[in-house]
Amino acid sequence: MRRILQVVRKEFIQIRRDKGLVRMVLIAPLMQLVIYGYVVATDIRALPMAVLDQSDSAESRRLVDRFVFSGYFTLEGHVGSLKEAERHLNSGRSMIVLVIPEDFARDVRRGVKTQVQLLVDGTNSNTATIAMGYAGGIVAAANQEKLEEGIHRKGLRMIEAGIREEPRVWFNPSLRAINYMIPGIICVLLMEMMVPLTAFSLVRERERGTVEQLMVTPLRAEEVLIGKTIPYIAIGLIDAILILTAGTLWFGVPLPHNLGALLVCTSLFIVVALSLGILVATVVTTQQQAALSAQFALVPNILLSGFMFPIQSMPEAMQWFTTILPMRYFLVIVRSIMMKGLGLTELWDQILPLVGLGAVIFTISWLRFRRVFG
């Protein structure tokens, strides 16, 4: 026990001496919170649009107004020709051009079918799809109004039959994006800090040759391991608490009732991430390699865990692959505790696979660690 404490002390002194590291441990969580909170958590609105109005009539202006007042589009300007429209799309000044044909007003007045064209910049496939959805909705609403108008003009009454839906949003009634982001940021940050930090702190001993000095001391392998990882568990917990506090004070995200459960699961996840770091450390020999291989562990976890992109939309094969990512389970756990107020007993079906995965990773890394550092 005393020997473990000595290793912990040595590691803490090394961390404290590294000013750049201390700075990063404090700044990184806040920087991520701000960036993710403000960038990822935004809706797509105010898409820049240009209009090529060849009809130039009251009818066509009404359609344009509908686009502008929807809030989904902002009018960048009118263009006089297709050539100019092309320039708008090429330069990225507008991402959608509405082309209204010459005989638009005549057709509308006659009640004949007429066509408007939407030229969409498909570069960003995601935004383009959403923009087309918005445009479709606006045109449909215009048609609906036209139909009702016609029926009224003929002195008939509209039939009111139809279905009314009553949406009820649970867990996040205001649909605030940041409420959903904060739990995710905790997961990403822990993964991003814990894996490389442990890997580096172990590989450093190897690269500098100080591992031989550790070997000749009476310290046993498990004492080295525990002693070297305790400071990083502390750093992980501090960072998690930092995000929770900043999220509550700055973004007004409600604190979970089950703070205890959150802490227990967070500690569990930190141990899993540390094991992953230890595993990396036993595979590589230099810190540079550790930097790269940590990215290998990180990127799939961040992209495929459901943090940014919903798992159920992925292809089947990828969905299967996500079941071996520890972050996938931790993400569900943190979100459920923070947003749904669930406790440990309701989350056993997520905690169990996390513990299982952790046990497998830990066993492999422990076996390798004993061979390499023992």
Residue with smaller CB distance to another protein, 207 or 219: 207
Interacting residue with another protein among 5, 6, 13, 27 (CB under 8 A)? 27
Residue 150: how many other CB atoms lie within 10 Å: 11
Report if residue 272 touches another protein, rule: CB under 8 A: no
Report if residue 171 touches another protein, rule: CB under 8 A: yes
Q: How far is the CB of 336 from another protein (least distance, A)?
A: 7
Residues 312-331 that bind another protein (CB under 8 A): 312-315, 317-318, 321
Residue 102: how many other CB atoms lie within 10 Å: 13
Interacting residue with another protein among 1, 2, 166, 249 (CB under 8 A)? 166
- Stretches 242-250, 271-279, 306-314, 365-373: which one binds another protein (CB under 8 A)? 306-314
Q: How far apart are CA 291 and CA 323, in angstroms?
A: 25
For residue 252, give Cα distances in angstroms to 58, 163, 213, 333, 337.
47, 37, 50, 21, 17
Q: How far apart are CA 181 and CA 170, in angstroms?
A: 17
Contact 242, 30 (CB under 8 A): yes
**First-to-final CA distance of the chain:** 18
Binding track, positions 127-146, relative to another protein; x by CB under 8 A: xxx--xx-xx--x--xx--x
Q: How far is the CB of 17 from another protein (least distance, A)?
A: 8
Interacting residue with another protein among 11, 76, 103, 346 (CB under 8 A)? 346
Instruction: Report how many residues bind another protein under the rule CB under 8 A.
Output: 123
Report if residue 177 touches another protein, rule: CB under 8 A: yes
Burial of 68 (0-12, 13-18, 19+ CB in 10 A): middle
Residues 277-296 that bind another protein (CB under 8 A): 284-289, 291-293, 295-296
